[in-house]
Copies of this chain bind each other. A is one copy, B any other.
């Protein structure tokens, strides 16, 4: 069973917004065994929409459409769908009522424009949108399913979760799709490929391998699809295991276990340990990432973002002599920051970062991209130096990732 996602809206084509809806939908469809064959972003334009619908119907079984369902003039998806299916719009009184109830709650006046939202093509099944005014619409024609949903993420997600995914699952006997993504650090893509060439050549047919390289790490994704969940999982797991004797030293984990901040959270809870950060060049990015995890307050105590020499001295109590002798971007200052943050927040682990993220050079003698990461543990303090190059966002992102990797590795060993 193949699907295509069509997003309608100029805002994606002029680069004003990021298409995060399609990523989420693709993940959800994959999880229930539907392959996303193509994602197509098109204009709010009748000719373009009609053509894209017809083309998609030739490629796939299920066409999921988002966007263009607002009450204003620039939104033309519903009228265009009526044209595509040679249909007329009819008013749904239950949707009028739903909108009125919704608006009463938030004290919005109900206008004539809102009433337009309750018009639905007669050939469509209207799907309840709990979080907004535009209903989802389900059409079937020549064995192809078309579903139209609003582009507002919460509304689309509600419709997918409550209606579209369960309906697709009940309608089709779907295969099982399994992905396992192996996270490796510290070896380039080409070298890695040569090292695992024999293993790769002998992979059983149903397994597809992909290399996903990024900033000092390569993710290896194994994918397979089949009728039996047990069989597919076993097949993939067996091949993943064979990699351990070959490249076990550079495997740090598996993406499906969660993000690194989630893994760290689980490890800290399990060990009943606490964490704080002292951040200079990362400007709070590490604390911010750690606190995206629900329940982080169980193990995360806080952070001092010291963006000046004075903040390092007065709040983090870094010795002014250390700064004068070694400069703020130094192993010595990073160490003191980590140790003092550990004491200040009374925690078991403290991460500290200091570096020059650029693009302007600061008062230190180090060049842009140089970063020191220190980690204070219950028994010691370690520090590492890196050159993360440029640009600024890369330096911040790589420092954040690397700091979390160092912490994760320590937590597993300790």
Q: Are A14 and B26 in touch, CB under 8 angstroms? A: yes
A315 contact from B12, B14, B288, B302, Cβ within 8 A: B302
- A contact residues vs B (CB 8 Å cutoff): 10-20, 22-30, 35-44, 48, 52, 55, 70-75, 108-109, 111-114, 152, 154, 179, 181, 188-191, 193-194, 200, 208-214, 221, 223, 255, 277, 279, 282-288, 290-292, 294-297, 300-308, 310-311, 314-315, 344-346, 358-360, 362, 391-394, 396
Task: Count this chain's copies in the assembly.
Answer: 2
Residue on B with the closest CB to A181?
B16
> Distance in Å from the Cβ of A390 to the closest Cβ of chain B?
9
> Distance in Å from the Cβ of A259 to the closest Cβ of chain B?
12
Q: Are A113 and B14 in touch, CB under 8 angstroms? A: no
Once the chains are docked, how many angstroms separate the CA of A290 from the CA of B357? 14
A39 contact from B23, B40, B189, Cβ within 8 A: B40
6 A-B interface contacts by CB (under 8 A): A11-B212, A38-B43, A300-B307, A301-B310, A302-B308, A310-B346
Q: Are B301 and A303 in touch, CB under 8 angstroms? A: no
Chain B residues, CB < 8 A from A42: 38
Once the chains are docked, how many angstroms separate the CA of A359 from the CA of B152? 21
A71 contact from B39, B71, B193, B297, Cβ within 8 A: B193
Q: Which of A13, A40, A70, A223: most chain B Cβ within 10 A?
A: A13
Residue on B with the closest CB to A201?
B73
Once the chains are docked, how many angstroms separate the CA of A26 from the CA of B43? 13
Once the chains are docked, how many angstroms separate the CA of A362 from the CA of B295? 10
Once the chains are docked, how many angstroms separate the CA of A352 from the CA of B254? 37
Q: Given A37-B43, A70-B213, A292-B396, does the pair A221, B307 have CB atoms closer than 8 Å?
A: no
